[in-house]
Every structure is written in C-alpha cells, then in structure tokens.
C-alpha cells in the first residue's frame, strides 16, 4: 500500500515537472505575430500584408512576375464577366481588331482541306505589288512547309504577320505552273474595313453591314451612305448582326446621324461615376432616311447602344432576335510591359432608362445556349420579359429592360429548306470545297469579272446544279429527289455566293447573292 502511494506521488511529480518545462519552453518561443487588420483601415490590407510577408520572409527566391501573372486574372475573375486582365499578346490582338489596320502582307485565305488557298489579294497591299493571285496555294512560309500538315489557320496568320518593313518569304503553287514560285514580300500596314458591304438591295433600299465599331467605322459609314444616296437610297437596312461592339464614340457618332437635336442617345452611370448623358446635336446627314436595324443574339455593346437609341427615340424598327445584353462601360488601363486590364466602371442605359446589361449569374456564359434550349430563337413568346421593367417610348411603344434589346419585329432562326442533304453538305464543307475547285478551273476567267451583271452571265454559262450534285455524289453525299426540292435553291445560292467571293468583287459579290436566303433581310424588305 505504501509502495503504491509512493509510485502515485512519483507519477504526479513527473507530470508537474513536464508541465513546468513546457511552460518555460513556450515562454521562450517567438510570440505569435498577430496583425490588427482594423488598424490598417484598408480593405485590401490582408492581401498586401500577405504579399509583403512573402516578399520579406519567404525561404526561397520568388519569381514576382510569374506570381503576378497568376494573381491578376484571379482578382479580375471575382468581378463581372467582362472585366479582364490581358497579357501583352492578348492586349495587342484586342486592340488591333479595332484600330482599322494591322501590319501584314494583305491576303485572305482559307484552308478547305489541308492546304491554304488565297481567296483574295487586298488591292494596293504588298501581296498585290509582289504579284500574288487568288487561287495560289501556300506551300511554304519562310522555308517551313505548311501544306499537307493540317496546320491551324491562326498559326499561318501569325507566321505571315509582323512589323511593317520586315520581310516574309513564301513559296506558292499556281495552276498551270509545274514548279513552286518564290515570293519575298515586305510587310506593310493593311487597312481593315469595318463596313463589310454596302449596296442597293432594290431601287430605293440600301443595305450596309457593319462588322464592328472600329476607329474608322464612322468615316466608312459616311462614305457608304453618300454613295448609296447618289444611287437613289430612301431607306436603309443597317445590319448589326454578329457585331460585338467596339469604340463607344463611333456608336455615338453613328447614332447622331439619325437623331434630332436634343435626342438622348444613351447615358451611363456607376457607383463612382455620376450619370453622364450623350445627346444628339441634330446635325446628322441621315435624318431623312427611313431606317431598319437588324440584330441577333451576338449583337453586343456598341451595337446595342445604337439599336436602343433608335428604338427608344422611335427612329427605327428593330428586326431579328434579342441582342446579347452587354452594356458595361469599360476603362482600359495599360501597363508599361504591354499588358493591361479592362475594368468595368459603369453601366449603359437606353434613353427610356433600360439597363442594357443582362444580369450576372452562374449560367452567364451559357445564356445563349439556354435561349436555344427554351425556344427563344424560334418563338417571340419564349422571350422572358419582366413587367416591372416595362418602359414606354415617346411614340407610345412598349419596350422591356432586363438585358439586351428585344426587337420590335421578331424573326426566328430560319429552318425552312433544311434537309439531311444540306446538313451533310454543311458538315463536310462541300459548298466551300466545290467553290474552290470550280474557281480553280475557271480562275483566269473569274479574275476579269468586275460587276454583278458579268457574274450572273458567267453563272448562266454553267450547269451548277449538275456540277455540284456530281461533286457531292463523288464524295459520298447523294441527294434524294425530296432533299433537292427542299434545299436545292438554298445550296445553289450559297455556291454562287462563295464563287462570287473568289472574284475581285469579294464581299461585294458575296452578300448580294447570299442575302437572298436571309429571312431577316427579306422580312425587313416587306415593311
């Protein structure tokens, strides 16, 4: 009993000694470094403190640039879907598309199979001066073989572009020539049009398609309208489908051409940006022109500003599908290393007070797909509207907010003329491939076609229906009688349009033919 008590006392004594030693040890350890975030009076205090601590005390050297390049996209991703960080390469590409030009050699080409075929040589550009022709096949770029290797088209573009004054060497295969033809081309500034095409679609109606709102859009538009007026234009169909936007000032100036003095074009407002109104000065040259505006689900930003201004001022009817819904004011910030950010600072509102920007959600990126799935592309009744966001124009038209511009005249996606034969032809790009083969055969003749009358006369010399069916049959795609009755006219129209693009007229031939199948254009012509 005595021994048990002794052992118990001993065990207790040992534990007491251990505890005392631990206390002494803890007291000698460095005290916990607790920083009072409240005392810093800065919402970003924790982030800056972490970076400072890492920079000051981290055990190894740090690649500050690598950390920054990963950190900045993560920061921007926590904001809205359109605020982004752009590394130097991406920023250059983003700016280039809106500048009205780029440095290159001045050709357009496609890759129907595994070899690039030049479809157009830009007039006055370095390639035309060097002697390149439409139909030439690009075999080598700077001694690198690019034919038959299924190189991505963007990679070939990157190889041929470069600073003006530098040289690029091409080797081309030309019909009728046994050997490759070498060319050395000096890169230069290549102008980029924002007006894809402008022509009279009938005796009184002009048609202008604007691809983007670039630095030169307003000037190009004025030139186009002046030419169309001289040929009798009283009404204009202005096509902004697939136009994703661009420079705000260009949208303002274009809107000003159609509005009366004092008409509100748009206003913007944000947490740190007081409301700012943009008002027409009444000096526009197109105030007497009847206007129809075409939009679709890919029309965004500046396109929506223009369409909203025309709709809310009762200046035009809007045709097509609900627009994308991007109405954010973004300020660029450029860094000395060539990178930059696009930061949202405000939202755009139409003259009646509608917010153009659609709500952010977890499914924001899938919005267009959802429109297809719930039937919005086929029926106006499927467009979700909120009665609490109902607005009335000065002319008494009811318009709705909630994101995007809802057209006055809904025109569903066109499914008329669809057949299994058409689907198979499209999947295998047989229209483009046939047009390439046909154009190769008649290249010399086609280079001399400079107007639509000559083009239609050329088509009349050929049985395109038979030639195309023979071509698709040889490629294992055989139409039934029913399929051809359903889709034949559409297919031949597409064939003629693509062949027309391979003439010197380019898009000036393509669109007048292609738009004959366009149900939105045809609907606008009916009114």
pLDDT at 112 over 80: no
The neighbouring-strand residues paired with 118 are: 109
Alpha-carbon gap, residue 249 to 309, rounded angstroms: 14
Residue 216: per-residue pLDDT: 92
Ranked by mean pLDDT, the top range of 7-11, 117-121, 230-234, 437-441 is 230-234
Six-digit token string for 193: 């049009």
Residue recorded with tokens 């290393």: 337
Kindly report which listed range (114-128, 134-148, 302-316) carries the lowest average pLDDT score. 114-128
Helix (H) or strand (E) holding 26: helix 2-28
pLDDT at 39 over 60: no
Domain(s) of CATH 2.30.42.10: residues in the chain: 101-191
pLDDT at 215 over 60: yes
Q: Contact, 158 vs 89, CB < 8 A?
A: no
Residue 172: per-residue pLDDT: 94
Residue 192: per-residue pLDDT: 78
pLDDT at 150 over 90: no
Alpha-carbon gap, residue 243 to 259, rounded angstroms: 21
The neighbouring-strand residues paired with 291 are: 236, 316
Q: Which CATH architecture has domain 101-191?
A: Roll (2.30)
- Taking only the tens place, the pLDDT of each residue in 388-443 is 899 999 999 999 998 999 999 999 998 889 999 999 999 998 998 899 899 989 98
Six-digit token string for 443: 């290249």
Six-digit token string for 359: 């709500």
Calculate the dihedral angle through the C-alpha atoms of 333, 334, 335, 338, rounding to the nearest 10 degrees: 150
pLDDT band at residue 259 under the 50/70/90 scheme: very high
- Taking only the tens place, the pLDDT of each residue in 169-188 is 999 998 878 899 999 999 99
Q: Contact, 131 vs 183, CB < 8 A?
A: yes
- Taking only the tens place, the pLDDT of each residue in 437-454 is 999 899 889 999 999 999
Alpha-carbon gap, residue 231 to 224, rounded angstroms: 11
**pLDDT, average across residues 154-177:** 89
- Taking only the tens place, the pLDDT of each residue in 59-105 is 998 898 888 889 889 989 999 999 999 988 888 777 766 666 678 89
Residue 13: per-residue pLDDT: 59
Residue 41: per-residue pLDDT: 55
Residue recorded with tokens 């040259």: 285
pLDDT at 36 over 90: no
Vertex 118, ends 93 and 144: CA angle to 5°? 75
Higher per-residue pLDDT: 521 or 335:
521
Alpha-carbon gap, residue 271 to 279, rounded angstroms: 22
Kindly report which listed range (5-9, 129-133, 146-150, 228-232) carries the lowest average pLDDT score. 5-9
**pLDDT, average across residues 501-506:** 90
Mean pLDDT of the chain: 89
**pLDDT, average across residues 222-251:** 96
Residue 154: per-residue pLDDT: 82
Residue 362: per-residue pLDDT: 77
Is the CATH code 3.40.50.720 the one for domain 195-410? no
Vertex 366, ends 294 and 244: CA angle to 5°? 35
Residue 374: per-residue pLDDT: 85
84 CB contacts (<8 Å, ≥6 apart)? 73, 76, 341, 342
Strands 116-121, 101-104: parallel, antiparallel or unpaired by DSSP? unpaired
SS3 label, residue 449:
coil
Alpha-carbon gap, residue 516 to 527, rounded angstroms: 16
- Taking only the tens place, the pLDDT of each residue in 343-401 is 999 999 999 999 999 998 878 888 888 898 889 999 888 888 888 899 999 999 999 99
pLDDT band at residue 304 under the 50/70/90 scheme: very high
Alpha-carbon gap, residue 469 to 479, rounded angstroms: 8
Torsion sign, CA atoms 502, 506, 512, 514: positive
Strands 273-279, 328-334: parallel, antiparallel or unpaired by DSSP? unpaired
In three state form, how does the secondary structure of 171-226 look? EEECCCCCCCEEEEEECEEEECCCEEEEEECCCCEEEEEECCECCCHHHHHHHHHH
pLDDT band at residue 26 under the 50/70/90 scheme: very low
Calculate the dihedral angle through the C-alpha atoms of 369, 371, 377, 383, rounding to the nearest 10 degrees: -170
Domain(s) of CATH 3.90.226.10: residues in the chain: 195-410
Q: Using CB atoms within 10 A of its CB, is residue 454 exposed (0-12), middle (13-18) or buried (19+)?
A: middle
How far is C-alpha 18 from the geometric centre of its chain's CA atoms?
72
Residue 327: per-residue pLDDT: 94
């Amino acid at each position: 009993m005595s021994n048990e008590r002794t052992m118990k006392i001993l065990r207790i004594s040992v534990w007491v000694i251990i505890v005392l030693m631990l206390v002494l040890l803890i007291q000698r350890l460095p005290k916990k470094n607790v920083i009072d975030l409240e005392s810093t009076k800065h919402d970003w205090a924790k982030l800056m403190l972490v970076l400072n601590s890492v920079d000051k005390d981290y055990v190894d050297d740090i690649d500050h640039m690598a950390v920054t390049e990963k950190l900045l996209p993560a920061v921007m991703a926590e904001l809205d879907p359109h605020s982004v960080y752009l590394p130097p390469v991406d920023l250059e590409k983003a700016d280039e598309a809106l500048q009205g030009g780029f440095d290159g050699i001045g050709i357009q080409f496609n890759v129907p199979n595994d070899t690039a075929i030049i479809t157009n040589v830009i007039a006055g550009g370095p390639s035309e001066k060097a002697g390149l022709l439409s139909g030439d096949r690009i075999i080598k770029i700077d001694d690198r073989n690019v034919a038959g290797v299924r190189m991505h088209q963007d990679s070939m573009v990157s190889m041929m572009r470069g600073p003006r004054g530098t040289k690029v060497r091409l080797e081309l295969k030309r019909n009728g020539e046994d050997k490759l033809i070498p060319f050395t081309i000096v890169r230069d500034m290549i102008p980029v049009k924002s007006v894809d095409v402008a022509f009279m679609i009938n005796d009184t109606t002009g048609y202008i398609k604007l691809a983007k709102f670039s630095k030169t859009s307003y000037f190009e538009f004025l030139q186009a309208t002046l030419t169309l007026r001289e040929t009798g234009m009283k009404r204009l169909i202005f096509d902004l489908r697939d136009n994703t936007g661009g420079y705000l000032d260009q949208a303002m100036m274009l809107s000003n051409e159609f509005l009366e003095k004092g008409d509100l074009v748009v206003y913007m407002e944000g947490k740190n940006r007081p409301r700012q109104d943009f008002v027409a000065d009444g000096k526009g040259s197109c105030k007497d022109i009847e206007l129809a505006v075409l939009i679709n689900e890919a029309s965004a930003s500046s396109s929506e500003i223009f369409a909203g201004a025309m709709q809310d001022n009762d200046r035009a009817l809007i045709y097509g599908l609900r627009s994308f819904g991007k109405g954010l004011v973004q300020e660029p910030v450029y860094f000395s290393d060539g990178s930059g950010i696009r930061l949202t600072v405000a939202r755009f509102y139409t003259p009646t007070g509608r917010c153009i920007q659609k709500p952010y959600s977890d499914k924001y990126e899938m919005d267009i797909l959802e429109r297809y799935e719930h039937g919005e592309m086929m029926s106006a009744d499927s467009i979700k509207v909120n009665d609490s966001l109902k607005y009335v124009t000065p002319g008494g038209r009811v318009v709705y907010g909630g994101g995007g511009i809802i057209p006055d005249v809904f025109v569903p996606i066109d499914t008329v003329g669809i057949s299994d034969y058409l689907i198979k032809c499209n999947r295998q790009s047989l229209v483009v491939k046939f047009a390439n083969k046909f154009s190769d055969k008649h290249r010399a003749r086609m280079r001399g076609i400079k107007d639509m009358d000559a083009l239609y006369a050329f088509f009349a010399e050929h049985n395109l229906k038979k030639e195309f069916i023979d071509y698709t049959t040889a490629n294992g795609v055989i139409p039934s009688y029913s399929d051809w009755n359903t889709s034949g006219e559409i297919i031949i129209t597409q064939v003629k349009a693509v062949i027309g693009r391979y003439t010197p007229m380019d898009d000036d031939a393509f669109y007048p033919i292609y738009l004959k199948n366009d149900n939105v254009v045809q609907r606008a012509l009916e009114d």
